[in-house]
Chains A and B, each alone.
Chain A
Amino acid sequence: MWGVRSRPSGRETGHPHEPRRLGDTSLGGFTLQVQDLTKCYTADRPVLRGVSLTLDSEGITIVIGPSGAGKSTLLRCINRLVEPTSGRILFKGTDLVALHGQTLRECRRRIGMVFQEFNLVERLSVIENLLSGRLGYVSPWRAWLRKFPEGDIARAFELLDQLGLSEFAAKRADALSGGQRQRVGIGRALMQEPELLLADEPTSSLDPKTSVEIMETMASLARQRHIPVIVNMHDVNLAKRFADRVVGMTDGRVVFDGKADDLATEELSAIYGGEEWMR
């Protein structure tokens, strides 16, 4: 009912990059409200212990915390790649936890995701990987024949150009370097025309220089399109550099939520424990 088809889409009007205002103001401008989310993979060991988080309609939120704090599980619960044990996840007012089948997929295609290890389909070409972002909208028959709508294909090439990958369009994804692959990963997520972008440690498999470049690319493309972004990461300095807001998690709980500038020794030690590592 409230799927993408009902929105005015730049794709059809021939202005693919016309900024769209997202976030219905009647809902207070919140894109996402996570309420008291818990997840237990095994019954007695919860990974998320009642996480609550509210996300505005824009800006970059970076979730930091030690390994095993539940950052990745939190992101995967939001697009239901992982089933939450309890709690609510309101995405533009709809509770994602209650959705199944078709309605879940219709919500999922409005949420883009970027992965730590890129997770491109290795044996497909770069352009096919980008267009796989449109798979929520095409029939299996058209997917099989790669008959994507002409507008999607044009937009994919344009995006490839913005990502600086035009010459690689026909190359197989496994022929690319790490940084290039992550660009394709970002492109795939943006092809969804997402209303929310999730990035699960997008720079952890990359060198420091490439990490900054990737974060810059992702931040600027998301800002252009007014897409709110949630990024998981354990590099505190990189987080401070790009975050509009930092959320600190430890042991399945949110222990810090504020501006990057407010993140001092005391807060960092609450998130990661100890102080020795900061010297």
Chain B
Amino acid sequence: MDALTRRAAGRTAFPAAWGPRLRWLRDVYGGRILAVAVIGYAAYAASTLGFTPARFWRGLEHGGLFVSRLFPPDFASRWSDIQHDMLESLEIAILASVFGILASLPLGLLAARNLMPAYVTWPVRLLISVSRSFHPVIVGILFVKAIGFGPLAGVLTLAVASVGFIGKLFTEAIEEISLKQVEAVRATGASFPNVLIFGVLPQVTARFVGFSVYQLDSNLRNSTILGIVGAGGIGGTLLAAFQRFDYSIVCAIVLVMIGLIMVGEILSEQVRKLFQ
């Protein structure tokens, strides 16, 4: 609690009894005690991990050597592999986004507590939060084990991740709409689907488009890593190059990735502007 609120509540003096004294300490020094505890723990954690300045300097030297071996990038010798896997990553991202968004639209609606009864929202909210619980790499390993190597596992992985994120964002967008507008549409005698179409959708469409584009962007990034666990895309090629110490090829792949993601960013900005 800050000084002004304390003064407004009429509590400044150190109380006589022990219960109020503890509360007084928490209110007055609580924030400072917490800050000291966090800094202390960080120092302790660094000492147990052997995180010393000497180790840090050795790491920097090694890093400098690594960076010098990255250049110049070698695009030529494995270009057909890079091109093929990059396009595969792109396809994985787009397919996963389409499936994820299509699934999230009804799920987001069913999870909205201002439109649906509790016995509908709870199971759906659970489903959405389970989809969000695991990192895509872990989900990717599960799908690779379940249905085998290849891009299909990647598509399913990112579709699940998309449901976890934009399902939740859609739900929140619907829960934040103005119910006055909905009430007015309801008062015309409109059926529930018509209330959704005229009262709810106009209020959330622009935000839905924004979230979807953001998810496509995020799927594009994540699709480049799934190859590492065998779920298709450029990640596998990248890992192989690392393991062969082909650092100039690593550099080429990384540069292509950066280019692709920048193009994605520019496109998504344009789409968002269109739906403002």
| B101 proximity list for chain A (CB < 8 A) | none
Contact of A192 among B178, B186, B188 (CB under 8 A): B188
What's the nearest-Cβ distance from chain A to residue B27, in Å? 33
Within 8 A of B (CB), among A104-142: 105-113, 115, 117, 119-124, 128, 132-136, 138, 140
Q: In the complex the two chains form, is A121's CB within 8 Å of B190's CB?
A: no
B191 at the interface (CB under 8 A from A): yes
Q: In the complex the two chains form, is A136's CB within 8 Å of B188's CB?
A: yes
Q: In the complex the two chains form, is A140's CB within 8 Å of B197's CB?
A: yes
Docked complex Cα distance between A158 and B197 (Å): 25
| B187 proximity list for chain A (CB < 8 A) | 79, 81, 108, 111-113
Q: In the complex the two chains form, is B184's CB within 8 Å of A120's CB?
A: yes
Q: In the complex the two chains form, is B181's CB within 8 Å of A122's CB?
A: yes
B198 at the interface (CB under 8 A from A): yes
Chain B residue nearest to A109 (CB atoms) is: B189
Q: In the complex the two chains form, is B188's CB within 8 Å of A135's CB?
A: yes
Contact of B180 among A119, A123, A188 (CB under 8 A): A119
What's the nearest-Cβ distance from chain B to residue A153, in Å? 15
Within 8 A of A (CB), among B192-226: 193-195, 197-199, 202-203, 205-206
Q: In the complex the two chains form, is A109's CB within 8 Å of B202's CB?
A: no
Within 8 A of B (CB), among A50-81: 79, 81
Q: In the complex the two chains form, is A136's CB within 8 Å of B181's CB?
A: no
Chain B residue nearest to A145 (CB atoms) is: B197
Given A117-B180, A123-B203, A143:B189 Cβ within 8 A: no
- Chain B, interface SS category: helix
Chain A residue nearest to B185 (CB atoms) is: A132
What's the nearest-Cβ distance from chain B to residue A147, in Å? 12
Q: In the complex the two chains form, is A107's CB within 8 Å of B202's CB?
A: no
What's the nearest-Cβ distance from chain A to residue B240, in Å? 49
Docked complex Cα distance between A81 and B186 (Å): 8
Q: In the complex the two chains form, is B198's CB within 8 Å of A143's CB?
A: yes
B183 at the interface (CB under 8 A from A): yes
Chain B residue nearest to A191 (CB atoms) is: B188
| B190 proximity list for chain A (CB < 8 A) | 105, 109, 132, 135-136, 143
Please tell me the number of chain B residues within 8 Å of chain A, measured between CB atoms: 22
A277 at the interface (CB under 8 A from B): no
Q: In the complex the two chains form, is B191's CB within 8 Å of A105's CB?
A: yes
Docked complex Cα distance between A23 and B210 (Å): 51
Q: In the complex the two chains form, is A113's CB within 8 Å of B184's CB?
A: yes
Q: In the complex the two chains form, is A122's CB within 8 Å of B189's CB?
A: no
Docked complex Cα distance between A95 and B172 (Å): 38
Q: In the complex the two chains form, is B202's CB within 8 Å of A106's CB?
A: no
Docked complex Cα distance between A46 and B199 (Å): 31
Chain A 182-212 interface mask (CB, 8 Å, partner B; 1/0): 0001001000100000000000000000000
| B198 proximity list for chain A (CB < 8 A) | 121, 124, 128, 132, 135, 143
Given A135-B198, A143-B194, A106:B181 Cβ within 8 A: no
A144 at the interface (CB under 8 A from B): yes
Docked complex Cα distance between A140 and B194 (Å): 5
Q: In the complex the two chains form, is B193's CB within 8 Å of A122's CB?
A: no
Q: In the complex the two chains form, is A108's CB within 8 Å of B188's CB?
A: yes
Docked complex Cα distance between A132 and B197 (Å): 10
| B180 proximity list for chain A (CB < 8 A) | 115, 117, 119
Q: In the complex the two chains form, is A135's CB within 8 Å of B184's CB?
A: no
What's the nearest-Cβ distance from chain B to residue A122, in Å? 7
| A138 proximity list for chain B (CB < 8 A) | 194
A residues contacting B by CB (< 8 A) are 79, 81, 105-113, 115, 117, 119-124, 128, 132-136, 138, 140, 143-144, 185, 188, 192
4 further A-B contacts with Cβ under 8 Å, apart from A121-B185, A136-B188, are: A123-B203, A132-B184, A135-B189, A135-B198
Q: List 29 A-B contacts (CB under 8 A).
A: A81-B187, A105-B189, A107-B189, A108-B186, A108-B189, A111-B189, A112-B188, A113-B184, A117-B180, A119-B181, A121-B185, A121-B199, A121-B202, A121-B203, A122-B202, A124-B198, A132-B184, A132-B188, A132-B190, A132-B198, A134-B188, A135-B185, A135-B198, A136-B194, A138-B194, A140-B194, A143-B193, A143-B194, A143-B197
